[in-house]
Amino acid sequence: MNFTPLGQRVLVKRVEEEAKTASGIIIPDNAKEKPLTGTVVAISSEVEEDGDIAENDTIVFAKYSGTEITLEGGEYLVLNTDDILGILK
């Protein structure tokens, strides 16, 4: 993949959540909400200069944020850094 975000944006791959509840109930795909966490795949040069967010960071982002795109058959999200709520360590 050769995608570089511009401005204050990052490219994120959503982290898939478990399809079962703790009690063992399987949740169908149409009933699941999209996960609000993801792994940073690429960052713009402006974000890189800030040094707050790096590739491979796991982040939490706002529910209705970003633009979904498909690259090489994979689903990704392009997020503005203002939509990132925090980094999971």
pLDDT tens per residue, range 8-63: 999 999 987 656 666 767 656 554 556 689 999 999 999 988 888 999 999 999 98
Question: Domain segments of the chain: what residues?
Answer: 9-88
**Higher-confidence position of 20 and 86:** 86
Instruction: Name the CATH architecture for the domain at 9-88.
Output: Roll (2.30)
Task: Give residue 29's pLDDT.
Answer: 56
Residue 44: alpha-carbon gap to chain centroid: 15
pLDDT of 18 reads 58
CA distance 15 to 3: 19
Contacts of residue 35, defined as CB under 8 A and 6 or more positions apart, other chains included, come to 14, 15, 16, 17
The whole-number pLDDT of residue 76 equals 94
pLDDT for 41-54, tens place per residue?
Answer: 999 999 988 888 99
